C-alpha cells in the first residue's frame, strides 16, 4: 500500500484488541463489524485505509484461563486468538493487520515506548496501595467501587461498572505521572469530534474536569505476582501493566518505532466499547502526549449488547457465540442485524424473534423480493437491465415519482448517517427507498405488462419498471455494501456493475448519464439472495 503524503487522505482505523481469556461473543463481533463497515465506507470514498484488530494476551486473567484449560500459556493464547481471527474471516472483517501482543515485534515497540516515557521524565518508582480488579485488569479508586455480599454473606468490594471483584494490593510499582496531564487532556477534548457520540464526550470531560481517575498510575506490577506479561525494561523484577502493553499495539501495527508509522499517525477512528473509555480516553492520550506523540483524532465509543434485556455473562450462561448464531441466521444475516439494530449510545438488545423478523422483512421481502420480481423468466426473459438514463422518466405515477425522489436523496441521507456513525439510519434510508421501489413495481404490475408483447407502450412501460427497480437495487446494494459486503457484492456482480463503478460517487442515480445509453444485461446465475428464515 502507498499512503498519500497529505495524511488527511489516509485513514487509520482500529478495533480494541480482544482478551483471549474466552472465545468471541456478540459484543466482540459488534466492535469488529462496526469498524469494518466504517473502513469499507471510507474505501468507497476513495480514502486509503489501514485497519487493525487483534488479541490482547497478557495478564493474570489470561494465565488463569490457560491454567483452567490445562494448556501452556502461549499455546492457549494461540488457540483462542485463532478463534478471533476466524470470526474476522467468517464475518468479512477485512483487517490489514491482526496483532497479538505476544509477538516479538510488539514487545520491542513497548520497550521503545517505555524508554521514551522514561527519557522524558514521566516514570518514577513509587508505591501503590489500593484496589485492583483482575477481571478488568484495572486499578480502581473508591468512587469506582461498591460493596456487596458474596454467597457466604461476607461483605466484598466490586467494581461499580463491571460488578467484578477487586482485591487489596500494596506494592512498590513504577508509576506514570498521569496527574500532570489534566490540562493536556482538556485541550485534546476541546474538539467535540474527539469522542463520539456526544454522550461519551460529556462523560469523559466530566471525569477529567473532576480529576476523578487522574492519580498517578502504576504501570508495573511485581513480576512474581504477574509473571505472564512483558517484563519492565528497567527492572526485571517488574512486569509491565497490561493496559500499557495493550494500548501500544496501536503503534506496533504501524511498524513503530520505525519512521514509517508517521504516515498514518495519529489514528483516525478508534472503535471502543464504553467499558474501556477510561483506558482509551485518559491513559492512552496521556501516554501519547507524554511520549511526544499526537493522541487519536476520534474515539468512537459504543454501548453493549443485552440478551433478552439481560446483561450477557458467563455465570448466566447467556453468552452468544457469533459462530452459533451464524448457524441460525448466516454470517451476513447476523452482521446485518447487529449493524442495523445497534445505536452507539444505547445498549442494544439481542432477541431471536426480532432477528428473524428483521432479516425476513428487510433482506428477504424487501431487497431480495425487489430483485426477484424483475429478473424472473416471465417478466424479464432476455435478462435485461434497461438503461436508467433512457427510461428514467417514462413511468407516470405517484409511486414512480416517489421512487425517483427517493433515489435522488438516499445517497445524501446515507452519507450523513455514515459520517455520524449512525448505521441504523443508513439502513432506514435504504429500506425506505426500497419500499417505494417495491410499491412502484406492485402498482405497475410488470407481469401484466409482459402479457401485452404486441403493445409497444406496454413494453416500454415494462422496461421502465424493470429499469427503475434494478436501479434501486443497484443503489441499495452500493449503500449497504459496508454493512453486508457479501450480499451486496453478489448483487452488484449479478447486475454486471464493473468494480470501478462501486464507489460512493456511484450511489447517485444514473438517469443523467447520457453518455452510456447502451443496454445492459444481468448475469444468468450465481445471485446470492438472503433466504427467508422459517420460524424456529
List of residues contacting ligand MET (CB under 6 A)? 16-19, 56, 246-247, 249, 276
Least CB distance from residue 405 to ligand MET, whole Å? 44
Q: Which is nearer to ligand MET, 73 or 249 (CB)?
A: 249
Least CB distance from residue 79 to ligand MET, whole Å? 17
Q: Which is nearer to ligand MET, 19 or 494 (CB)?
A: 19
> Which residues contact residue 424 at a Cβ distance below 8 angstroms, ignoring those fewer than 6 apart?
339, 340, 341, 342, 343
Name the DSSP letter for residue 350.
E
Q: Which is nearer to ligand MET, 250 or 391 (CB)?
A: 250
Least CB distance from residue 14 to ligand MET, whole Å? 8
> Which residues contact residue 387 at a Cβ distance below 8 angstroms, ignoring those fewer than 6 apart?
467, 510, 516, 517, 518, 519, 520
Q: Which is nearer to ligand MET, 248 or 470 (CB)?
A: 248
Q: Which is nearer to ligand MET, 138 or 158 (CB)?
A: 138
**Neighbour tally for 439: CB within 10 Å:** 16
Least CB distance from residue 504 to ligand MET, whole Å? 30
Q: Measure the CA–CA gap between 349 and 419, rounded to whole angstroms.
A: 24
The CA distances from residue 468 to 142, 383, 464, in Å, are 62, 15, 6
Beta bridge partners of 305: 348
Cis peptide before 216 (omega within 30 of 0): no
Name the DSSP letter for residue 470.
H
Least CB distance from residue 247 to ligand MET, whole Å? 5
Least CB distance from residue 100 to ligand MET, whole Å? 12
Residue 353: exposure state from Cβ atoms within 10 A (0-12, 13-18, ≥19)? exposed
Least CB distance from residue 176 to ligand MET, whole Å? 16
What count of Cα atoms within 13 Å lies in the side-chain half-sphere of residue 474? 31
- The residue nearest ligand MET at its CB is 56
Q: Which is nearer to ligand MET, 52 or 406 (CB)?
A: 52
Least CB distance from residue 279 to ligand MET, whole Å? 7
Name the DSSP letter for residue 319.
P
Q: Measure the CA–CA gap between 362 and 144, rounded to whole angstroms.
A: 43
> Which residues contact residue 239 at a Cβ distance below 8 angstroms, ignoring those fewer than 6 apart?
220, 221, 222, 223, 226, 227, 229, 230, 231, 232
> Strands 138-140 and 123-133, how do they pair?
antiparallel
CA-closest candidate to residue 343, choices 422, 272, 431: 422
Q: Which is nearer to ligand MET, 140 or 246 (CB)?
A: 246
Q: Which is nearer to ligand MET, 246 or 431 (CB)?
A: 246
Least CB distance from residue 54 to ligand MET, whole Å? 9
Q: Which is nearer to ligand MET, 18 or 305 (CB)?
A: 18
Amino acid at each position: 500500500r502507498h499512503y498519500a503524503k497529505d495524511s488527511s487522505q489516509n485513514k487509520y482505523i482500529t478495533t480494541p484488541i480482544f482478551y483471549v481469556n474466552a472465545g468471541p461473543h456478540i459484543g466482540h463481533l459488534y466492535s469488529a463489524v462496526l469498524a469494518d463497515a466504517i473502513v469499507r465506507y471510507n474505501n468507497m470514498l476513495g480514502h486509503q485505509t489501514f485497519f487493525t484488530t487483534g488479541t490482547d494476551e497478557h495478564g493474570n486473567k489470561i494465565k488463569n484461563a490457560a491454567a483452567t484449560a490445562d494448556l501452556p500459556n502461549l499455546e492457549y493464547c494461540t488457540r483462542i486468538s485463532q478463534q478471533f481471527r476466524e470470526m474476522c474471516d467468517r464475518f468479512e472483517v477485512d483487517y490489514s493487520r491482526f496483532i497479538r501482543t505476544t509477538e516479538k515485534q510488539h514487545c520491542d515497540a513497548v520497550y521503545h515506548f517505555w524508554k521514551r516515557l522514561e527519557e522524558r521524565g514521566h516514570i518514577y518508582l513509587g508505591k501503590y496501595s489500593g484496589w485492583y480488579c483482575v477481571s478488568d485488569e484495572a486499578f480502581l479508586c473508591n468512587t469506582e467501587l461498591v460493596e456487596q455480599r458474596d454467597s457466604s454473606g461476607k461483605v466484598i468490594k466490586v467494581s461499580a461498572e463491571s460488578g467484578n471483584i477487586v482485591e487489596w494490593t500494596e506494592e512498590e510499582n513504577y508509576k506514570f505521572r498521569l496527574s500532570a496531564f489534566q490540562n493536556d487532556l482538556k485541550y485534546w477534548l476541546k474538539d467535540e469530534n474527539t469522542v463520539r457520540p456526544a454522550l461519551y464526550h460529556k462523560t469523559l470531560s466530566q471525569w477529567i474536569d473532576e480529576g476523578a481517575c487522574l492519580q498517578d498510575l502504576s504501570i508495573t506490577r511485581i513480576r512474581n505476582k504477574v509473571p505472564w506479561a512483558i517484563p519492565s525494561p528497567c527492572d526485571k523484577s517488574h512486569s509491565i501493566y497490561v493496559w500499557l502493553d495493550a494500548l501500544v499495539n496501536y503503534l506496533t501495527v504501524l511498524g513503530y518505532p520505525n519512521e514509517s508509522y508517521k504516515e498514518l499517525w495519529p489514528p483516525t477512528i478508534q472503535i471502543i466499547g464504553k467499558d474501556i473509555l477510561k483506558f482509551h480516553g485518559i491513559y492512552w492520550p496521556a501516554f501519547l502526549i507524554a511520549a511526544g506523540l499526537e493522541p487519536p483524532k476520534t474515539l468512537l465509543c459504543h454501548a453493549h449488547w443485552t440478551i433478552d434485556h439481560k446483561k450477557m455473562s458467563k455465570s448466566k450462561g447467556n453468552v452468544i457465540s457469533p459462530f452459533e448464531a451464524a448457524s441460525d441466521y448466516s454470517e451476513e444475516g447476523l452482521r446485518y442485524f447487529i449493524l442495523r439494530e445497534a445505536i452507539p449510545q444505547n445498549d442494544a438488545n439481542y432477541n431471536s424473534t426480532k432477528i428473524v423478523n428483521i432479516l425476513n422483512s428487510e433482506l428477504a421481502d424487501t431487497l431480495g423480493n425487489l430483485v426477484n420480481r424483475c429478473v424472473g423468466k416471465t417478466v424479464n426473459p432476455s435478462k435485461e437491465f434497461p438503461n436508467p438514463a433512457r427510461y428514467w422518466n417514462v413511468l407516470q405515477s405517484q409511486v414512480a415519482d416517489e421512487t425517483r425522489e427517493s433515489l435522488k436523496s438516499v445517497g445524501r441521507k446515507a452519507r450523513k448517517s455514515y459520517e455520524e456513525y449512525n448505521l441504523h439510519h443508513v439502513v432506514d434510508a435504504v429500506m425506505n427507498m426500497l419500499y417505494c421501489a417495491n410499491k412502484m413495481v406492485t402498482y405497475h404490475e410488470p407481469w401484466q405488462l409482459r402479457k401485452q408483447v404486441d403493445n409497444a407502450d406496454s413494453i416500454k412501460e415494462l422496461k421502465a419498471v424493470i429499469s427503475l427497480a434494478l436501479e434501486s437495487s443497484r443503489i441499495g446494494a452500493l449503500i449497504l455494501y459496508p454493512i453486508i459486503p457479501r450480499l451486496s457484492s453478489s448483487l452488484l456482480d449479478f447486475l454486471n456493475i464493473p468494480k470501478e463503478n462501486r464507489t460512493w460517487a456511484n450511489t447517485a442515480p444514473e438517469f443523467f448519464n447520457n453518455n452510456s445509453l447502451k443496454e445492459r444485461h444481468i448475469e444468468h446465475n450465481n445471485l446470492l439472495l438472503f433466504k427467508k428464515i422459517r420460524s424456529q
